[in-house]
Amino acid sequence: MQARAMSERPRVWVSQPLFDDIVARLGEHFEVETTAEVTQHAPDAVNAILRRMDGALVTLNDPIGAVQIEGAPRLRAIANVGVGYNNLDVAALSAAGILASNTPDVLTETTADFGFALMMAAARRIGEAERWLREGHWQRWSFDSLLGADVHGATLGILGMGRIGQAIARRATGFGMRTLYHNRSRLPEAVEADCKASYVGFDELLARADHLLLVLPYSPQAHHLIDAAALARMQPHATLTNIARGGIVDEDALCDALERGRLGAAGLDVYEGEPRLNPRLLAQRRVVLTPHIASGSLATRRAMVALAVDNLIAALGYGPRAGDPPS
Protein backbone atom coordinates (compact mmCIF):
# COMPACT_ATOMS: atom_id res chain seq x y z
CA MET A 1 0.00 0.00 0.00
CA GLN A 2 1.49 3.34 -1.00
CA ALA A 3 0.65 5.51 2.00
CA ARG A 4 1.41 9.21 1.69
CA ALA A 5 0.81 12.25 3.85
CA MET A 6 -2.36 14.05 2.77
CA SER A 7 -0.39 17.13 1.68
CA GLU A 8 1.75 15.11 -0.74
CA ARG A 9 -1.09 13.28 -2.33
CA PRO A 10 -1.58 13.80 -6.06
CA ARG A 11 -4.56 15.91 -7.09
CA VAL A 12 -7.15 14.79 -9.58
CA TRP A 13 -10.11 16.56 -11.15
CA VAL A 14 -13.44 14.93 -11.94
CA SER A 15 -15.08 17.12 -14.55
CA GLN A 16 -18.69 16.39 -13.62
CA PRO A 17 -20.56 14.40 -10.96
CA LEU A 18 -20.44 10.70 -11.85
CA PHE A 19 -21.33 7.79 -9.53
CA ASP A 20 -20.18 8.95 -6.08
CA ASP A 21 -19.69 5.45 -4.71
CA ILE A 22 -17.36 4.54 -7.60
CA VAL A 23 -15.50 7.82 -7.82
CA ALA A 24 -14.90 7.63 -4.06
CA ARG A 25 -12.14 5.10 -4.82
CA LEU A 26 -10.05 7.96 -6.17
CA GLY A 27 -10.07 9.42 -2.65
CA GLU A 28 -8.06 6.44 -1.39
CA HIS A 29 -5.03 7.77 -3.26
CA PHE A 30 -5.68 11.34 -4.33
CA GLU A 31 -7.05 14.71 -3.35
CA VAL A 32 -10.18 14.85 -5.49
CA GLU A 33 -11.84 17.97 -6.83
CA THR A 34 -15.20 17.38 -8.53
CA THR A 35 -17.16 19.93 -10.54
CA ALA A 36 -20.59 19.87 -8.94
CA GLU A 37 -22.69 20.04 -12.10
CA VAL A 38 -22.69 18.85 -15.70
CA THR A 39 -21.48 21.86 -17.58
CA GLN A 40 -19.65 22.84 -20.75
CA HIS A 41 -16.37 24.08 -19.28
CA ALA A 42 -14.65 26.93 -21.09
CA PRO A 43 -11.15 25.98 -22.33
CA ASP A 44 -9.40 28.54 -20.13
CA ALA A 45 -11.38 27.37 -17.08
CA VAL A 46 -10.25 23.78 -17.75
CA ASN A 47 -6.69 25.01 -18.19
CA ALA A 48 -6.79 26.85 -14.86
CA ILE A 49 -7.90 23.63 -13.15
CA LEU A 50 -5.48 21.30 -14.96
CA ARG A 51 -2.52 23.50 -14.07
CA ARG A 52 -3.03 22.31 -10.47
CA MET A 53 -3.75 18.66 -11.25
CA ASP A 54 -1.86 15.38 -11.64
CA GLY A 55 -4.73 13.69 -13.43
CA ALA A 56 -8.31 14.11 -14.58
CA LEU A 57 -11.41 12.05 -15.22
CA VAL A 58 -13.32 13.60 -18.12
CA THR A 59 -16.18 12.82 -20.47
CA LEU A 60 -16.98 13.57 -24.09
CA ASN A 61 -18.25 16.96 -22.90
CA ASP A 62 -14.65 17.95 -22.23
CA PRO A 63 -12.33 18.70 -25.14
CA ILE A 64 -8.75 18.33 -23.87
CA GLY A 65 -5.97 19.58 -26.12
CA ALA A 66 -3.00 21.92 -26.25
CA VAL A 67 -4.95 24.89 -24.83
CA GLN A 68 -6.34 22.97 -21.87
CA ILE A 69 -3.00 21.38 -20.87
CA GLU A 70 -0.76 24.39 -21.39
CA GLY A 71 1.42 25.15 -18.36
CA ALA A 72 0.29 22.03 -16.48
CA PRO A 73 3.62 20.45 -15.49
CA ARG A 74 2.19 17.98 -12.97
CA LEU A 75 -0.45 16.59 -15.32
CA ARG A 76 0.29 12.95 -16.15
CA ALA A 77 -3.00 11.26 -17.00
CA ILE A 78 -6.38 11.92 -18.57
CA ALA A 79 -8.98 9.15 -18.21
CA ASN A 80 -11.90 9.50 -20.59
CA VAL A 81 -15.25 7.98 -19.62
CA GLY A 82 -16.16 6.65 -23.06
CA VAL A 83 -14.78 4.43 -25.76
CA GLY A 84 -14.74 7.25 -28.32
CA TYR A 85 -12.02 9.77 -27.54
CA ASN A 86 -12.32 12.35 -30.27
CA ASN A 87 -12.65 14.94 -27.48
CA LEU A 88 -8.97 14.28 -26.67
CA ASP A 89 -6.14 15.64 -28.80
CA VAL A 90 -4.04 12.53 -28.38
CA ALA A 91 -1.07 14.00 -30.30
CA ALA A 92 -0.94 17.02 -27.98
CA LEU A 93 -1.28 14.81 -24.89
CA SER A 94 1.44 12.40 -26.06
CA ALA A 95 3.77 15.27 -26.91
CA ALA A 96 3.35 16.47 -23.32
CA GLY A 97 3.94 12.96 -21.93
CA ILE A 98 0.37 12.67 -20.66
CA LEU A 99 -1.24 9.23 -20.70
CA ALA A 100 -4.72 9.09 -22.22
CA SER A 101 -7.15 6.21 -21.64
CA ASN A 102 -10.69 5.26 -22.67
CA THR A 103 -13.26 2.62 -21.69
CA PRO A 104 -13.57 -0.05 -24.38
CA ASP A 105 -15.22 -3.47 -23.97
CA VAL A 106 -17.47 -2.68 -21.00
CA LEU A 107 -20.00 -0.90 -23.24
CA THR A 108 -19.88 -3.15 -26.30
CA GLU A 109 -23.00 -5.25 -25.80
CA THR A 110 -25.15 -2.43 -24.41
CA THR A 111 -24.23 -0.16 -27.30
CA ALA A 112 -24.90 -2.96 -29.79
CA ASP A 113 -28.34 -3.51 -28.22
CA PHE A 114 -29.13 0.14 -28.69
CA GLY A 115 -27.83 0.33 -32.26
CA PHE A 116 -30.05 -2.58 -33.17
CA ALA A 117 -33.03 -1.05 -31.38
CA LEU A 118 -32.55 2.33 -33.10
CA MET A 119 -32.28 0.66 -36.50
CA MET A 120 -35.50 -1.23 -35.80
CA ALA A 121 -37.22 1.91 -34.56
CA ALA A 122 -36.26 3.74 -37.77
CA ALA A 123 -37.25 0.84 -40.02
CA ARG A 124 -40.60 0.28 -38.31
CA ARG A 125 -41.33 3.99 -37.77
CA ILE A 126 -41.71 3.57 -34.03
CA GLY A 127 -40.88 7.16 -33.11
CA GLU A 128 -43.24 8.56 -35.71
CA ALA A 129 -46.00 6.14 -34.70
CA GLU A 130 -45.68 7.06 -31.04
CA ARG A 131 -45.80 10.80 -31.77
CA TRP A 132 -48.84 10.30 -34.04
CA LEU A 133 -50.67 8.33 -31.36
CA ARG A 134 -49.88 10.80 -28.56
CA GLU A 135 -51.05 13.64 -30.80
CA GLY A 136 -54.48 11.97 -30.90
CA HIS A 137 -54.57 11.09 -34.61
CA TRP A 138 -55.58 7.45 -34.16
CA GLN A 139 -59.27 7.05 -35.07
CA ARG A 140 -59.43 3.40 -36.21
CA TRP A 141 -57.11 0.56 -37.13
CA SER A 142 -55.98 0.89 -40.69
CA PHE A 143 -54.12 -1.77 -42.68
CA ASP A 144 -51.95 0.71 -44.53
CA SER A 145 -50.94 3.31 -42.00
CA LEU A 146 -47.32 3.79 -40.87
CA LEU A 147 -46.02 0.90 -42.96
CA GLY A 148 -42.35 0.30 -42.40
CA ALA A 149 -39.53 -1.83 -43.76
CA ASP A 150 -38.71 -5.34 -42.59
CA VAL A 151 -35.59 -5.96 -40.57
CA HIS A 152 -35.68 -9.76 -40.55
CA GLY A 153 -34.22 -11.25 -43.69
CA ALA A 154 -32.90 -7.87 -44.88
CA THR A 155 -29.33 -6.93 -45.73
CA LEU A 156 -27.53 -5.19 -42.90
CA GLY A 157 -24.57 -2.98 -43.72
CA ILE A 158 -22.10 -2.17 -40.96
CA LEU A 159 -19.57 0.58 -41.49
CA GLY A 160 -16.85 0.11 -38.86
CA MET A 161 -16.41 -3.48 -37.74
CA GLY A 162 -14.75 -3.11 -34.35
CA ARG A 163 -16.09 -4.69 -31.20
CA ILE A 164 -19.48 -2.96 -31.37
CA GLY A 165 -19.93 -3.63 -35.09
CA GLN A 166 -19.19 -7.29 -34.50
CA ALA A 167 -21.66 -7.46 -31.60
CA ILE A 168 -24.35 -5.96 -33.86
CA ALA A 169 -23.54 -8.49 -36.58
CA ARG A 170 -23.97 -11.34 -34.09
CA ARG A 171 -27.41 -9.99 -33.17
CA ALA A 172 -28.34 -9.82 -36.85
CA THR A 173 -27.91 -13.57 -37.25
CA GLY A 174 -30.90 -14.07 -34.95
CA PHE A 175 -32.97 -11.97 -37.35
CA GLY A 176 -31.93 -13.99 -40.38
CA MET A 177 -30.17 -10.94 -41.84
CA ARG A 178 -27.38 -11.03 -44.39
CA THR A 179 -24.55 -8.90 -42.98
CA LEU A 180 -22.06 -6.97 -45.10
CA TYR A 181 -19.39 -4.79 -43.58
CA HIS A 182 -16.74 -2.34 -44.55
CA ASN A 183 -13.79 -1.51 -42.37
CA ARG A 184 -10.32 0.01 -42.71
CA SER A 185 -8.97 -3.53 -42.77
CA ARG A 186 -10.65 -6.82 -43.40
CA LEU A 187 -11.25 -9.03 -40.34
CA PRO A 188 -9.64 -12.46 -39.98
CA GLU A 189 -11.73 -15.21 -41.56
CA ALA A 190 -12.53 -16.78 -38.18
CA VAL A 191 -14.03 -13.50 -36.93
CA GLU A 192 -16.02 -13.05 -40.15
CA ALA A 193 -17.33 -16.60 -39.73
CA ASP A 194 -18.27 -15.96 -36.10
CA CYS A 195 -20.19 -12.81 -37.08
CA LYS A 196 -21.50 -14.34 -40.32
CA ALA A 197 -20.44 -11.14 -42.06
CA SER A 198 -18.89 -10.56 -45.48
CA TYR A 199 -16.41 -7.83 -46.33
CA VAL A 200 -17.31 -5.51 -49.21
CA GLY A 201 -16.02 -2.19 -50.54
CA PHE A 202 -17.53 1.09 -49.30
CA ASP A 203 -19.57 1.71 -52.46
CA GLU A 204 -20.94 -1.83 -52.50
CA LEU A 205 -21.92 -1.53 -48.84
CA LEU A 206 -23.87 1.64 -49.58
CA ALA A 207 -25.54 0.14 -52.65
CA ARG A 208 -26.60 -3.16 -51.09
CA ALA A 209 -27.57 -2.34 -47.49
CA ASP A 210 -31.26 -2.22 -46.64
CA HIS A 211 -30.19 -0.94 -43.23
CA LEU A 212 -26.84 0.80 -42.81
CA LEU A 213 -25.37 1.19 -39.33
CA LEU A 214 -22.46 3.56 -38.61
CA VAL A 215 -20.18 2.28 -35.87
CA LEU A 216 -16.80 3.66 -36.91
CA PRO A 217 -14.61 5.94 -34.80
CA TYR A 218 -14.61 9.62 -35.71
CA SER A 219 -11.46 10.94 -37.36
CA PRO A 220 -10.84 13.81 -39.78
CA GLN A 221 -10.95 11.20 -42.60
CA ALA A 222 -14.41 10.12 -41.45
CA HIS A 223 -15.78 13.68 -41.43
CA HIS A 224 -18.95 13.77 -43.58
CA LEU A 225 -18.10 10.36 -45.00
CA ILE A 226 -21.84 10.00 -45.40
CA ASP A 227 -22.41 13.00 -47.63
CA ALA A 228 -24.76 13.70 -50.54
CA ALA A 229 -22.75 11.47 -52.89
CA ALA A 230 -22.73 8.55 -50.43
CA LEU A 231 -26.45 8.93 -49.72
CA ALA A 232 -27.18 8.98 -53.46
CA ARG A 233 -25.60 5.52 -53.73
CA MET A 234 -27.97 4.06 -51.14
CA GLN A 235 -31.28 2.43 -51.99
CA PRO A 236 -34.31 4.75 -51.65
CA HIS A 237 -35.95 2.44 -49.13
CA ALA A 238 -32.79 2.04 -47.01
CA THR A 239 -32.40 3.24 -43.43
CA LEU A 240 -29.33 4.91 -41.93
CA THR A 241 -28.53 4.57 -38.22
CA ASN A 242 -25.71 6.50 -36.57
CA ILE A 243 -24.45 5.53 -33.09
CA ALA A 244 -20.85 6.61 -33.79
CA ARG A 245 -20.24 10.37 -33.93
CA GLY A 246 -22.37 13.07 -35.49
CA GLY A 247 -19.63 14.54 -37.66
CA ILE A 248 -19.58 11.41 -39.82
CA VAL A 249 -22.91 12.38 -41.42
CA ASP A 250 -23.60 15.55 -43.39
CA GLU A 251 -26.93 16.31 -41.70
CA ASP A 252 -28.14 18.71 -44.38
CA ALA A 253 -27.44 16.13 -47.08
CA LEU A 254 -29.33 13.58 -44.97
CA CYS A 255 -32.33 15.91 -44.69
CA ASP A 256 -32.22 16.55 -48.46
CA ALA A 257 -32.19 12.80 -49.14
CA LEU A 258 -35.15 12.19 -46.80
CA GLU A 259 -37.14 15.12 -48.19
CA ARG A 260 -36.58 13.95 -51.77
CA GLY A 261 -37.54 10.34 -50.99
CA ARG A 262 -33.95 9.23 -51.66
CA LEU A 263 -33.72 7.47 -48.28
CA GLY A 264 -36.31 5.55 -46.28
CA ALA A 265 -35.59 6.61 -42.70
CA ALA A 266 -32.86 7.39 -40.21
CA GLY A 267 -32.07 6.72 -36.57
CA LEU A 268 -29.66 9.14 -34.96
CA ASP A 269 -28.14 9.03 -31.49
CA VAL A 270 -25.31 11.48 -32.22
CA TYR A 271 -25.18 14.91 -33.89
CA GLU A 272 -22.54 17.14 -35.34
CA GLY A 273 -23.13 20.06 -32.96
CA GLU A 274 -24.63 18.14 -30.06
CA PRO A 275 -26.37 18.96 -27.84
CA ARG A 276 -27.57 21.53 -30.39
CA LEU A 277 -29.66 19.96 -33.13
CA ASN A 278 -29.90 20.92 -36.76
CA PRO A 279 -33.49 22.29 -36.90
CA ARG A 280 -34.03 20.51 -40.20
CA LEU A 281 -33.59 17.17 -38.44
CA LEU A 282 -36.28 18.06 -35.92
CA ALA A 283 -38.67 18.65 -38.79
CA GLN A 284 -38.15 15.21 -40.39
CA ARG A 285 -40.96 12.73 -39.77
CA ARG A 286 -38.95 9.68 -40.66
CA VAL A 287 -36.10 10.21 -38.24
CA VAL A 288 -35.83 8.77 -34.74
CA LEU A 289 -33.72 11.07 -32.57
CA THR A 290 -32.15 10.08 -29.24
CA PRO A 291 -29.75 12.10 -27.07
CA HIS A 292 -26.47 10.13 -27.27
CA ILE A 293 -27.58 7.30 -25.00
CA ALA A 294 -26.34 4.20 -26.84
CA SER A 295 -24.16 3.11 -23.92
CA GLY A 296 -26.70 4.33 -21.41
CA SER A 297 -27.79 1.38 -19.31
CA LEU A 298 -27.21 1.91 -15.61
CA ALA A 299 -24.93 -1.12 -15.32
CA THR A 300 -22.84 -0.10 -18.31
CA ARG A 301 -22.46 3.53 -17.34
CA ARG A 302 -21.32 2.34 -13.89
CA ALA A 303 -18.86 -0.07 -15.51
CA MET A 304 -17.51 2.74 -17.71
CA VAL A 305 -16.90 5.00 -14.72
CA ALA A 306 -15.32 2.13 -12.75
CA LEU A 307 -12.94 1.38 -15.64
CA ALA A 308 -12.03 5.04 -16.05
CA VAL A 309 -11.30 5.26 -12.31
CA ASP A 310 -9.08 2.15 -12.55
CA ASN A 311 -7.33 3.64 -15.56
CA LEU A 312 -6.60 6.88 -13.74
CA ILE A 313 -5.35 5.10 -10.62
CA ALA A 314 -3.09 2.86 -12.73
CA ALA A 315 -1.80 5.70 -14.90
CA LEU A 316 -0.77 7.64 -11.80
CA GLY A 317 1.11 4.62 -10.49
CA TYR A 318 -1.29 3.33 -7.83
CA GLY A 319 -2.76 0.38 -9.69
CA PRO A 320 -2.16 -3.27 -8.94
CA ARG A 321 1.35 -4.40 -9.84
CA ALA A 322 2.39 -7.79 -11.22
CA GLY A 323 2.30 -10.28 -8.35
CA ASP A 324 -0.18 -8.29 -6.23
CA PRO A 325 -2.99 -10.49 -4.85
CA PRO A 326 -6.35 -9.87 -6.57
CA SER A 327 -8.48 -7.31 -4.68
Rounded Cα gap, residues 91 and 109, in angstroms: 30
Q: Which H/E stretch holds residue 118?
A: helix 108-123
Q: Which of 170, 186, 292, 302 is the catalytic position?
A: 292
Give the pairing type, strands 211-214 and 287-289. Answer: unpaired
Q: How far is the CB of 83 from ligand DGY (least distance, A)?
A: 4
Which window, 78-86, 137-145, 155-163, 181-189, contacts ligand DGY (CB under 6 A)?
Answer: 78-86
Of residues 184-203, which lie at the interface with ligand DGY (CB under 6 A)?
A: none
Task: Verify binding: residue 60, ligand DGY, rule CB under 6 A.
Answer: yes
Helix and strand counts by DSSP (H, E) for the chain: 13, 12
Query: In degrees, to the nearest 5, what angle opens at C-alpha 243 toward C-alphas 168 and 190?
Result: 30
| Exposed/middle/buried for residue 26 (C-beta within 10 Å: 0-12, 13-18, 19+) | buried
125 is catalytic: no
Which window, 49-57, 76-84, 123-131, 173-181, contacts ligand DGY (CB under 6 A)?
Answer: 76-84
* R_g of the chain, CA atoms, integer Å: 22
Q: Which of 245, 251, 272, 286 is the catalytic position?
A: 245
Q: How far is the CB of 107 from ligand DGY (least distance, A)?
A: 6
To the nearest 10 degrees (0 to 180), the angle between helices 163-173 and 108-123 is 60
Q: Which H/E stretch holds residue 58?
A: strand 55-58
128 is catalytic: no
178 is catalytic: no
What b/e string do you get for 206-216 counting C-beta neighbours within 10 Å, with b at 16 or more?
Answer: bebbbbbbbbb
Q: How far is the CB of 108 from ligand DGY (least distance, A)?
A: 10
Rounded Cα gap, residues 221 and 199, in angstroms: 20
- The correct pick among 23, 83, 98, 309 for binding ligand DGY (CB under 6 A) is 83
Per-residue binder mask for ligand DGY (CB under 6 A), 97-126, x = binder: ----------x-------------------
Which window, 80-88, 165-173, 174-182, 247-255, contacts ligand DGY (CB under 6 A)?
Answer: 80-88
- The correct pick among 101, 110, 295, 311 for binding ligand DGY (CB under 6 A) is 295
Annotated catalytic residues are: 245, 274, 292
Residues that bind ligand DGY (CB under 6 A): 60, 82-84, 107, 295
